[in-house]
Amino acid sequence: MVQIFYKVNGQVELSQSIDILKSISVKDALWLDLDTPTGEEKRAVEIFLNTTLQSRAQAEEIESSSRYYETVDSIFVNTNFLIPSAESYSMESVSFILTGDTFTSIRQVPLRSFTDIQRRILSNIKLYPSGFHILIGILENRIDLDADMIELMSKEIAQYSKRVSLGEDVNDELLLDINQLQENTMIVRENIVDKQRMISSILKSDKTPDEVGNKLNILLKDVASLINHTNFSFERLEYLQNTVLGLINLEQNKIMKVFTLVSLLLMPPTLIASIYGMNVKLPLLGDGKDFIIVLSTMVVCVIAALILFRRKKML
């Protein structure tokens, strides 16, 4: 699907047909939004812009030269947008092309940031006079959403921290949940760092108008603050993970201490029972009180061992 926003007598119009490209010029086109475009739609846009659109494989490449590059007339940017799910986050590649004042976007999934900006353009075109303003609007919206996700993650971390402090459900399952939260934090941070590189590259470009420079600098500051926040969240998760591991080790040590103590208490009685169980003549036996003598000796050994452990503060 393609949505084409173009100017007509100072107003903006929307068309979802590529046929409109035959009757307008590149200067009239404001935004060409390609959502899971067909081959025909991509070819029509390429002819209209006189350029080559990035493929999905090119958009997903991680090399710096593939993430951002310029030609004589255009700026090409590839970045990732976070897609939250019930348990984890995934990243969806998005491509941007800036050709003069015309903005082109290529994506494979619906994104809330794009829908919000499209609605604002139709309501007030003065807020987005050029493609650079549309790109900045999308990034502002996206960064706000990323900040909301980081805030939710911080609340989750606080809840886990409270559970650990109260000693509730400190087990392997809690450790796995913390590990998943760490993974989500790393994905969010990777996504934000990618935005930081992209904005910095656009800001350094000679094709970027001076009027949008201040807004890009503000976005850079916002992104830097989000990176600091994700770093703090990750450090907090590491501390929480170490605390949970320590508590689990303490519980395991307590269990091993009980088993060790039981073994030590039973060693003297076992030795006595083994000796008196031999088929040989032993002292103090032969008068019918053999069982009582052996049992009493075993009990005395256990009591003596308990007294010794208490004095050594092993209990």
Distance CA 180, CA 307 (A): 48
H helices present in the chain, as ranges: 39-49, 56-60, 64-67, 112-123, 131-166, 172-204, 213-276, 290-311
> Residue 147: what residue type?
A
Residue range 14-51, pLDDT digits in tens: 888 888 888 888 888 888 888 888 888 888 888 888 88
Which residues, including other chains, have CB under 8 Å from residue 86's CB and lie 6 or more apart?
A: none
Least confident range of 44-53, 154-163, 167-176: 167-176
Residue range 199-237, pLDDT digits in tens: 888 888 888 888 888 888 888 898 888 888 888 888 888
> What structural domains does the chain harbor?
2-248 (3.30.460.20), 254-311 (1.20.58)
Distance CA 115, CA 112 (A): 5
Residue range 244-255, pLDDT digits in tens: 777 777 777 778
